[in-house]
Amino acid sequence: MRRHILVFLFTVLLVVSNFGVEVKAADIPQDHTEQTVSDGQHGPAQDGHGESAEAHHAPAGWSVIPFVVLLLMIATGPLFYEHFWHKNYPIVAVILAVIVVSYYLFVLHNHHGPVHALFEYVQFIALLTGLFVASGGIMIIVDKEAKPGTNVALLAFGAVIANIIGTTGASMLLIRPFIRLNKNRIKAYHIIFFIFIVSNVGGSLTPIGDPPLFLGFLKGIPFFWTLTNNFFPWIFAIIILLLVFFLLDKNNKADYSFGEEQATPTGKVAFRGTRNFAWLAVVVGAVFLDPNVFEWVPGIMYDGQKFSYIREIIMLAAAFCSYKFADKQALNGNDFSFEPIREVAFIFIGIFGTMMPALELVSNFAQSEEGIQFITHNTLYWGTGLLSGFLDNAPTYVNFLTAGMAADGASINKVAEVVQYSQGGYNNSMLELKAISVAAVFFGAMTYIGNGPNFMVKSIAEQVGIKMPSFFGYIVRFSIPFLIPLLVVVWLIFFYWNLI
């Protein structure tokens, strides 16, 4: 019972800390205070311009307000003031980011945080853009009968390739053929389980799979760490979700053909735009060009860390070429549009720009005596998960990784310490990182706003006339009865009892 109470309290405390609760320096152990001042977020004790560490102050509590406002607007805008949000979200995101960045530059005199955020944003959006554009030029035509077994095979295939081309790439590649395959019997549960499996849980095995894991990779977590540590939770969850979907689909007797004669399926699977697979391979291959791993890869040295730029140039060039030379019929068949990636690009300008104070406050809280006593792999699982479901799982992952490392006196901005954390160099740190990683990806399926592809898939489904549940209908009809029990069982087996 005590552990359950700690889970709840830690989650509440971290939410409160994101809303501006400041931890006084006196409450932070001295050795941790020194590290916070010296890490990359605040800048070194003495930089090249002769600035002293005293010039860099912790952000005020109110400085997290733009971050909270942005996340709340992301959650409520498409639901309650859709016209205003759709027209003005780029302006809103940029203005909120400018407010926080200006505060860091001109009030805190801290240029290290904004520069780190800029580099990480460029790396993040370059990967998403490359995967989105390259996959958008590939059209898959599945001319098979819409049987439960066929659907399960397609979803399982999506869960695998989500780790190769990302949940965004896999979702954009497969959602339209999945809808076309089931056009005469499709219901909302088809789309929701597609979101569960392909758009979220499937992408748990590589940093390419889901944005939170890629952010962890950028921070220094080894590329194959997720494959080694997340495999058993991944295979368990995928099998359970596919089994539940199969039972639902087997009992689906709907027929929307209205008696019209249907052509006999040939049983074949055809592709258009196959040249774009080569561009996808370029994007995926470029991920490995990390200057912190390979000395021969050029990078920009800042704050003792090498930031990549060659990798990002290659990804964006591949995106440009994949669109310019794409099969136009494939693009038209997929109703390809740049609007989804445009929305992600602007939204994440706001997220990366505004989340800096939240990261620091969470870090400070985690280093306090109150914070340290609440941080375990169990509280990290539920804290990361619950916020990932209702906010966005990428910044949530970073917040809780920051908290988990800070509680051990480690800095998320030091690559060597991130690697050490991932290898069990701190007490129970491998299990903590596993809890954060699994929760961020799995819980991202809990709502439409948990992960980027969720809303993209919903929009595509609604464009072809599928009636999708509302925001709360999604939670009540699908997340609570199907997803939440699975998340509890995953926690019990892999974290509470730590059986595997």
Which is more confident, 40 or 336?
336
Structure tokens given for 233: 């939770």
Element (H, E) at 408: none
For residue 86, is pLDDT > 80?
yes
pLDDT of residue 56: 58
Segments of 152-291 assigned E as strands: 268-272
For residue 267, is pLDDT > 60?
yes
For residue 53, is pLDDT > 80?
no
For residue 101, is pLDDT > 90?
yes
Which is more confident, 369 or 18?
369
CA distances from 268 to 51, 145, 164, 240, 348 (A): 67, 10, 24, 28, 40
pLDDT of residue 228: 96
Burial of 126 (0-12, 13-18, 19+ CB in 10 A): buried
- With beta carbons less than 8 A apart as the criterion, state whether 381 and 438 touch: yes
Hey, how many other C-beta atoms are within 10 angstroms of the C-beta on 25?
13
pLDDT of residue 41: 39
pLDDT of residue 52: 38
Digit-coded pLDDT (tens) for 171-216: 988 998 999 899 889 999 999 999 999 999 999 999 999 989 988 9
pLDDT of residue 35: 38
CA distance 9 to 386: 13
For residue 265, is pLDDT > 80?
no
**pLDDT level of residue 259 (50, 70, 90 thresholds):** low
Q: Note the Cα 310 to chain centre separation in Å.
A: 23
Give residue 220's region: left, alpha or beta (phi > 0; psi -120 to 50): left
For residue 487, is pLDDT > 80?
yes
**pLDDT level of residue 343 (50, 70, 90 thresholds):** confident
Which residue, chain included where needed, has tokens 């595509």? 460
% residues pLDDT > 90 (the chain) = 47
Q: List Cβ neighbours of 418 (8 Å cut-off, separation of 6 or more).
A: 219, 220, 221, 405, 410, 412
Amino acid letter, residue 435: A
Burial of 334 (0-12, 13-18, 19+ CB in 10 A): buried
pLDDT of residue 29: 37
Digit-coded pLDDT (tens) for 274-308: 999 999 999 988 988 888 778 888 999 887 778 88
